[in-house]
Amino acid sequence: MGEFIQFTLNGLMSGAIYALIAVGIVSVFKATKVVNFAHGYIIMFGAYFYFTFSVIVPGAAWAPDWLQSWEPAWMVAMKADLPMFSPMGAVLDWLSNLPRIILGLAGAVICNALLGLLIERTLMRPLIGQSTFAMIMITVGLISVLSGTKGLIWTADAEFVPHIAPNTPIRLNLFDTPIFLFGADLVNVAVALLLFGAIVAMVRYTKSGVAIRATAEDQSTAYSMGISVPRVFSRAWVLAATTGAIAGAILATRNGVSPSLGLFGFSVLAIVLMGGLDSYVGVFIAALTVGFLEAMAQWQFGGEFAEVVPYIAVLVVILIRPHGLFGQKEVERI
Amino acid sequence: MITGDLKATYAADERVLNNGYKQAFVLAMAALCALMPFIANDYIILVASQMGIMLIAVVGVNVVIGYTGLLSLGHAAFMAIGAYSVPILHRLMDNIGLPDGIMPFIAIPGAIAISAIVGIIVGLPSLRVKGLYLAVATLSANFIIIFLIELEALAPWTGGLVGLNTPDPNILGWVFDTQREMFALIAALAFVTILAIQNLFRTRVGRAFIAIRERDYSAEILGISLFRYKLMSFAISAACCRLAGALFAYFYARILPEQFELALSLQLVAALIVGGMGRTMGPVFGVMIIVMVPEVLKFTFGMVAGGAAEVAQLRAPVQEIVFGLLIIFFLMFEPLGINQLVDRGIRALNRWPFARG
């Protein structure tokens, strides 16, 4: 029973991060009707930008020392007195990493926003008004371009990056079995949920959110109502790229940066389709479900089975409900 | 209006090679392929064989994406099934004690049947879902099939992560153990495949596919069974990919699961988009470009770097970027592919000196 709870918690935590990634795909789809096959690679870029600004830049010769490791006198004094593996030690470690974590996150978000803007301007905008098939296939081509560009810029593989929160282990006792949670994981989940909630609230209540929804409903009507559709498009891409940057940074802290982060995007794509492309609620439920199922598969059958869980789940779901769990059925007219 | 292309009889209009340019091109290619095993060097034979294998696969992809309009990103999996069923069937037949000479006659059709069945299974979602959902469904199928191949439990059959050694085909006692002989086989089968698919689209079945592409509901109202024809399209296309996979297995000494991952599916789609979707010659032009890109890059990098390891390392990423840019470029500036460029050229040639374009 205790093991079950442990795996359930792990699954739900990765599910929350799936939800954060999925929100990027859904936002772009809602605004532009384009499903971004390359979203996983945009996340990978976010992770590598985080790696660049939190590991490479602080490690450079010209960077000030406090950026690499901030250790004022009081912290050194406090550290000296602490026993090994104490929670306070983890917090202090995190504090001394804090400057480079902040630099890393800021750098990742800004660079990824620029990347999203660049993609939207050069590849998507010229095709506004044409069939979405071309735009979707362009994102397929973008997969190769992004993964190749990554290979040109960064040769690092499976490098580790600092956690974005103190990684204190938390030990609980439930049903007489110990359950381990890590502070960083909990903060990751909190960040993911907060961002997800913020984006859903933004789309529902703010003016630009209303513009996104109007564009999703009918582009030409939105145009005639004074909404700048191209601006909505670029906002959606920037939103997707920035959430992708944070998701990428979180993923990088969990497993290190590696090109396999790109493949992660495909399982999230499966999750998005499972939930229904245009429904935030459906995608959230699907993300948590897949996270849970993955953890169960990992527990019962071993790690390699977890990889195919999203794909099997999406096949089952779209065979039964072709538009996903909560997706809107498209009305087709001949 | 197209000028200089007069047809006096219906028979002339219905011919596969309905103008002089096509006749000249096909005859020249046939002559070239027939001569190649005798005159070309090993390197050219290797590249040409790769082209032939890719060509058969892309012709299959063209049936589903180009003619039937079903977006599929999982065709590498069909090639994988084709490639893997060859050594497995060979081993089975070894156990029964069949002579080597007739094995390919059973292995190739047998595995085409296997793959057509898998094609139908993968195509089943296409009855319920369309467009994007189908693309993701086929993509998922690709991941699942590769996963099954790599699975430990099936490793006695599939070799798992380390792959399988593949046999040389032995047709009635003639062992195809050199690449030159294999090239002859591949070229012949590629010609047959293109011809068969071209002919398919002059029949009821092919026209039904095109009707489904244009508007599936309208096609159904016209009396075309979507169930039957969508599955048939997937089966035919899977069978072509499977043939390509079988030749792949016969051509190379060893097959690995990672050769059939998403990158290959993307390459097949890239070749189709670059060449031109829904046209017979599209795959031919597309495959020429897609197979030539790595070779040209290899050549350029060799010239620039002269073997420096750091520069040579950059070749694989550059190759990926070029593939991606090719897809993007053609989608943005010439969505109908090279085929359209060639058509335009031929038209200009026909009208010259009276008009251009």
Nearest CA in chain A to B321: A145
DSSP for A215-232, written as a single string: HHH-HHHHHHTT--HHHH
Tally of domains in chain A: 1
Residues 6+ apart with CB under 8 A from A328: A276, A278, A279
Q: Are B79 and B262 in contact (CB under 8 A)?
A: no
Residue of B121, B140, B151, B213 best to disrupt the A interface, most CBs of A under 10 A: B140
A273–B contact, CB cutoff 8 A: yes
Judged against a pLDDT cut of 70, whether residue B4 lies above it is answered with: no
- Whether chain B has a CB inside 8 Å of the CB on A322: the answer is yes
Where residue B1 falls among pLDDT bands split at 50, 70, 90? Answer: very low
| Residue A220 counted as domain residue | yes
Query: Which residues in chain A are contacts of B139 at CB distance < 8 A?
Result: 266, 269-270, 311
| Residue A221 structural domain | 31-259
CB atoms within 10 A of CB A144: 26
Query: What is the C-alpha separation between B250 and A126, in angstroms, rounded?
Result: 45
Q: What is the mean pLDDT of residues B22-41?
A: 83
Residues B49 and B118 sit within 8 Å (Cβ to Cβ): no
Side chain identity at A191, as an amino acid letter?
A: V
**Residue B13 falls inside a structural domain:** no
Retrieve residue B226's tokens. 């979507």
Provide the CATH number for the domain around residue B327: 1.10.3470
Give contacts of A149 with chain B, Cβ < 8 Å: 317, 321
Whole-number pLDDT of residue A158: 62
Closest partner residue to B321 (CB to CB) among A145, A263, A270 is A145
The answer to the question of residue A294 being in a domain is no
- At residue B106, φ and ψ (nearest 5 deg) are -95, -40
Whether A148 sits inside 8 A of B273 (CB atoms) is no
User: Which two structure tokens, joined as six digits, stand for A77?
Assistant: 């004094």
How many angstroms separate the CA atoms of B62 and B77, rounded? 16
Q: What is the pLDDT along chain A (334 residues), one digit of tens a residue?
A: 777 888 888 888 888 888 989 988 988 888 888 888 899 999 999 988 988 888 877 777 776 766 667 777 676 776 666 666 666 777 777 777 777 888 888 989 999 999 999 999 998 888 877 777 888 888 888 988 998 898 888 876 666 777 776 767 777 676 667 777 777 788 888 888 898 899 888 888 988 888 888 888 888 888 888 888 888 888 899 999 999 999 988 888 887 777 778 788 888 888 888 888 878 888 899 999 999 998 888 888 877 788 888 888 888 888 888 777 877 776 666 5
Least Cα separation, residue A143 to chain B (angstroms):
7
Using a CB–CB cutoff of 8 Å, tell me whether A307 touches chain B.
yes
Q: Which residues of B touch A318 (CB under 8 A)?
A: 125, 128-129, 133, 136-137
Q: Do the Cβ atoms of A148 and B319 come within 8 Å? A: yes
Interchain contact, A270 vs B136, CB within 8 Å: yes
* Residue B357 within a domain: no
Choose among B128, B221, B273: nearest Cβ to A318.
B128
Residue A83 lies in a domain: yes
DSSP bridge partners of A182 = A169
Q: ∠A87-A92-A95 over CA atoms, to 5°?
A: 130
Residues A116, A229: Cα–Cα separation, whole Å: 16
CA–CA distance, B337 with B327 (Å, rounded to integer): 10
Higher pLDDT, A155 or B30: B30
- Closest chain A residue by Cα to residue B69: A133
User: Above 0.90 for ipTM, yes or no?
Assistant: no
Residue B294 lies in a domain: yes
Contact present, B82 and B243 (Cβ < 8 Å): yes
Closest chain A residue to B146, measured at CA:
A308
Flag whether residue A138 sits within 8 Å of chain B, measured between CB atoms: yes
Q: Which residues of B touch A150 (CB under 8 A)?
A: 317
For chain B, how big is the Rg over CA atoms in Å?
21
| Closest Cβ–Cβ partner in A143, A319, A334 for B324 | A143
Q: Tell me how crowded residue A58 is: count the other CB atoms within 10 A of its CB.
A: 22
- In the structure encoding, which two tokens stand for residue A197, read together? 């909630």
On whether residue B292 sits in a domain, the answer given is yes
Decide if pLDDT at B311 tops 90: no
Is the CB of A127 less than 8 angstroms away from the CB of B332?
yes
Tell if the CB–CB gap between B125 and A318 is shorter than 8 Å: yes
User: Which residues of B fall within a CB distance of 8 Å from A145?
Assistant: 320-321, 324-325, 328
Contact status of A331 with chain B (Cβ, < 8 Å): no
pLDDT at position B202 is 86
In angstroms, the CA B180 to CA B40 distance is 9
Q: Which residue has the tokens 């792990």?
A: A10
Please give the interface size between A and B, counted as residue pairs whose CB atoms are below 8 Å apart.
Answer: 129
A148 contacts B317? CB cut-off 8 A: yes
Q: What's the rounded mean pLDDT across residues B115-141?
A: 78
A308 interfacial to chain B (CB closer than 8 Å):
yes
Residue B105 has pLDDT above 80, yes or no: no
Which chain B residues are within 8 Å of A304, Cβ to Cβ? 147, 150-152
Q: Does A303 touch chain B (CB under 8 A)?
A: no
Give the list of residues 6+ apart from residue A301 with CB closer than 8 angstroms, or none: none
Summarize the confidence of residues B6-10 as an average pLDDT: 79
Report the distance separating Cα A262 and Cα B319, nearest Å: 18
Structural domain count, chain B: 1
B12/A6 Cα distance (integer angstroms): 74
What's residue B55's pLDDT?
92
Mean pLDDT on B111-123: 78
Contacts for A160 with CB less than 8 Å, ≥ 6 apart: A256
| Residue from the list A151, A307, A319 with its beta carbon closest to the beta carbon of B125 | A319
SS3 A157: coil
Q: Is A22 on the interface with B (CB under 8 A)?
A: no
CB contact under 8 A, A334 and B215: yes
Three-state secondary structure string covering chain B: CCCCCCCCCHHHHHCCCCCHHHHHHHHHHHHHHHHHHHHCCHHHHHHHHHHHHHHHHHHHHHHHHHHCCCCCCCHHHHHHHHHHHHHHHHHHHHHHCCCHHHHHHHHHHHHHHHHHHHHHHHHCHHHHCCHHHHHHHHHHHHHHHHHHHHCHHHHHHHCHHHCEECCCCEECCEECCCHHHHHHHHHHHHHHHHHHHHHHCCCHHHHHHHHHHHCHHHHHHCCCCHHHHHHHHHHHHHHHHHHHHHHHHHHCCEECHHHHCHHHHHHHHHHHHHHCCCCCCHHHHHHHHHHHHHHHHHHHHHHHHCCCHHHHHCHHHHHHHHHHHHHHHHHHHCCCHHHHHHHHHHHHHHHCCCCCC
Q: Are A326 and A281 in contact (CB under 8 A)?
A: yes
Mark yes or no for CB contact A273/B323 under 8 Å.
no
CA distance A133 to chain B (A): 9
Are A150 and B317 within 8 A, CB to CB?
yes
Whether B335 sits inside 8 A of A123 (CB atoms) is no
The verdict on A118 touching B (C-beta cutoff 8 Å) is no
Supply B334's token pair.
């010439």
- Residues A177, A178, A184, A190, Cα dihedral to 10°: 40
Q: Which two tokens stand for residue B178?
A: 């050199």
Q: A292 — alpha (psi -120 to 50), left (phi > 0) or beta?
A: alpha
Torsion of CA B121, B126, B131, B137, to 10 degrees: -30
- Looking up tokens 């002989």 gives B181
- Shortest distance, CA B41 to any CA of chain A (angstroms): 32
Neighbours of B225 (CB within 10 A): 12
pLDDT for position A330: 67
Check B147 against A270: CB less than 8 A apart: no
Best-predicted range by mean pLDDT (A177-186, A281-290, B19-28, B296-305): A281-290
Residue type, position B68, single letter: T
**Alpha-carbon Rg of chain A, whole angstroms?**
21
Residue A5 CB-half CA count within 13 A: 12
Q: Three-state DSSP class for A70?
A: coil
pTM over cut 0.90: no
Among candidates B140, B147, B323 on the partner chain, residue whose Cβ is nearest the Cβ of A314: B140
Kindly tell me the burial class for residue A261, based on how many C-beta atoms sit within 10 Å of its own C-beta (0-12, 13-18, 19 or more).
Answer: buried
In sequence order, the 6+-apart residues with CB closer than 8 A to the CB of A5 are: A174, A175, A177, A179
Contacts of A33 in chain B (CB under 8 A): none
* pLDDT on residue B173: 63
Domain ranges, residue B186: 19-30+41-351
Question: Which has the closest alpha carbon to B206: B18, B63, B22, B61?
Answer: B63
Grade residue B356 by pLDDT with cuts at 50, 70 and 90: low
Helices B75-96 & B226-251 angle (0-180, nearest 10): 60
Cross-chain Cβ contact A144/B129 below 8 Å = no
Residue in A144, A145, A272 to test binding to B, most B beta-carbons within 10 Å: A144
Which of A260, A315, A330 has the highest number of chain B CBs within 10 A, making it the mutation to test binding with B?
A: A315
Q: What beta strand segments (E) does chain A contain?
A: 169-174, 177-182
